[in-house]
A and B are shown apart, each in its own frame.
Chain A
Amino acid sequence: MTWLRLAFRNVFRQKKRSILLASAIAFGMLAITLLNSLTLAMGTAVKTNFSAALGGHVYISGEVVSPRNYTSNRINEPEFIQQLIADSGFDLVEVKYRSNVRGQVIFGSQSDSISIQGIDLNNETKLAKRIEVRRGDFSQLGQSNTIALPVKQARALGANIGDTVLVKANTTSGQQNLLQWQLVAIIVDQGSFGRSNAYASLSSVNQLINIETNEFQKINLVLPDMNQMQQVTDTLKRQLATLNKAKPEVEESGLFSGMRRMGGTGSTYVDNPWQGTQFTVTNLDDVTQQVMSLVNTLDWIAKAIFVIMLLITLVGISNSYRMVLLERIAEIGNMRAMGAQANNVFRLFIYEAGILAILGTSAGLVVAQIAITVIQELTFTGRGPQTMFTVAGSIPASLDLVSVALSSALILIMCLLAAYIPARNAAKLDPAEALRTGT
Chain B
Amino acid sequence: MRRVSWFNLTSLTFGFAFLYLPMVVLVVYSFNSNKLVTVWAGFSTKWYGELFRNEAFLDAAWVTLRVALLSSTMATVLGTMAAYVLVRGGKFFGRTLFSGTLYAPLVMPDVILGLSLLLLFISIGLDRGMVTIVLAHTTFAMSYVAVVVSSRLVSFDRALEEAALDLGCTPLDAFRSVTLPIIAPAVISGWLLGFTLSLDDLVIASFTSGPSSTTLPIKIFSAVRLGVSPEINALSSILIGIVTVGVLTFSISSKRAIMKRMREENRAET
A, B co-complexed: no
| Chain A residues close to B by CB (< 8 Å) | none
| Chain B residues close to A by CB (< 8 Å) | none
